[in-house]
Amino acid sequence: MIRDCCLLPIMLDMVEKKRLEMEASGVTMKRLYCTALVRMQDLMLADLLQFRKKLSDAGIKLWKIDDSEVRKKSAFKYQYKCRGYVNVFEMLRDFARAEISKKFGYYIALVFKR
């Protein structure tokens, strides 16, 4: 759940950027692409809210460590607190890319399944 709560905001930003680019372009099927991207954002946001609620119900608090505090720019770092224990969750950028690619495949399948 923590991993998904870290990846989904990144994915939402990527989809929003692509949607804005698509709206500004002159692509023939722009409306189809934009509709699919909005649907994908809706699915991602619903999952993100569900994961955040599950974390909250479990008493886990999660926050991103500022990039200025992270020495290695090759990783994403998040801090979480659970039952009084504070720990760091770190994800390498290569791993994040691979996971994001898999998750995009999952959401694309959901968009065109319905």
The list of the chain residues with pLDDT below 70 reads: 67-73, 114
pTM for the predicted model, two decimal places: 0.86
How far apart are the C-alpha atoms of 57 and 104, rounded to whole Å?
27
Secondary structure (H, E, C), 20-72: HHHHHCCCCCHHHHHHHHHHHHHHHHHHHHHHHHHHHHCCEEEEECCCCCCCC
| pLDDT at 110 (0 to 100) | 94
Residue with tokens 């390498």: 92
| pLDDT at 75 (0 to 100) | 82
One-letter identity of residue 56: S
Cα 69 from chain centroid? 21
